Amino acid sequence: MSTHTPSRRVAGLARVAIAYLVAVAVAALWLAWGPATDALWLDTLIADLLATVVIFGFSRYHHNSSFYDAYWSVIPPLLLVYWWCRGDFGIDDVRTWLLFAMVSVWAIRLTANWVSTFPGLHHEDWRYAQLRDDAGRWELPVDLFAIHVIPTLQVFAGMIPAYVAVTRPAAGPMWLVVVAFLVGMAAITLETIADGQLRRFVRSARAGEVMDHGVWGWSRHPNYFGEFSFWFAIALFGVAASPADAWWLFIGAAAMLALFEGASIPLMERRSLARRPGYQAVIDRVPRFVLRPPRAGGSVRSRR
């Protein structure tokens, strides 16, 4: 490993931190002095998009769209706190505290996981480069919308049930709040286990070796399943606050599912098949998304 790697990593993290401070400052200035609408959610959506454009500017300047990576986990708790402060509930609302605790644990864990694996600005997520390359002369709008704006809209949609939960008086049962909290914490636990197992595998894996043990033997993408389950839990919090709106409060979770099933998983699977010949055996044996016992046939590694 190059002796310059640690300094490059720290310098990269510092630049990313500056980008996020500027983005949040722009959003805060808009919320404080920009023209307000009649809807709190719309005001915050505009601020969220303005912050996204700031991150996009840093991405383009540094020729690295991975500037956006941490936006997924940094912004939701800020949205939640802002909505909570602007709502009518006091600090003794148990439902809101449980939601805040769950979102905070998720955000801290996911952001810390990103920081721990961040190598520096010399590295960019391969999926971003592939999207831009495939877009040809349309690479700039693809970079802006597909890599930055659309994920922001998906996360914002996923947070709408949280908005409902902290800005409306509770109309649903408390037991559903507890269920939502337990589902969310279980999802975070699953993601933590999956990420830890994957890190250990990457450190010791031989070229072409496939991951098919631990929770990765029950799902080919347990991290994505955990992430979807977290957003499903957010939707449950919204339903617990407003059961009459249940029919649309799952739109955000559905958008997350569409992202994983329609984009992230196919990209990862094609890459794994191209780089690891044994991955087809994993596809044949291990469930794609939801955790289930693997199909009969023994572990992939035991047949090698």
Confidence at residue 2, expressed as pLDDT on a 0 to 100 scale? 46
Q: Looking at the predicted structure, is the pLDDT value of residue 263 above 80?
A: yes
Give the separation between CA 46 and CA 52, rounded to whole angstroms. 10
Least confident of 9-13, 203-207, 230-234, 246-250: 203-207
Closest CA to 237 of 32, 106, 95: 95
Which pLDDT belongs to residue 97?
Answer: 94
Ramachandran angles phi, psi of 299, nearest 5°: -70, 150
Q: Cβ-count burial of 243 within 10 angstroms (0-12 exposed, 13-18 middle, 19+ buried)?
A: middle
Give the mean model confidence (pLDDT) for residues 190-219: 92
| Residue 294 scores a pLDDT above 60 | yes
Least confident range of 28-32, 207-211, 276-280, 283-287: 207-211
pLDDT surpassing 90 at residue 92: no
Please give the residue that has the higher pLDDT: either 105 or 90: 105
Average pLDDT over residues 269-291: 94
Predicted pLDDT of residue 169: 82
Is 50 exceeded by the pLDDT of residue 300?
Answer: no
d(CA 11, CA 38) in angstroms, rounded, equals 42
Given a cut of 70, whether residue 303 has pLDDT beyond it is no
CB 49, CB 31: distance < 8 Å = no
For residues 85-107, give the mean pLDDT. 87
203 vs 302 pLDDT, higher one: 203
pLDDT at 1 over 80: no
pLDDT on residue 208? 79
Question: Does residue 91 carry a pLDDT above 70?
Answer: no
Identify the band that residue 123 occupies on the pLDDT scale cut at 50, 70 and 90.
very high
pLDDT digits (tens, 9 = 90+) for 40-58: 999 999 999 999 999 999 9
For the chain, give the mean pLDDT. Answer: 92
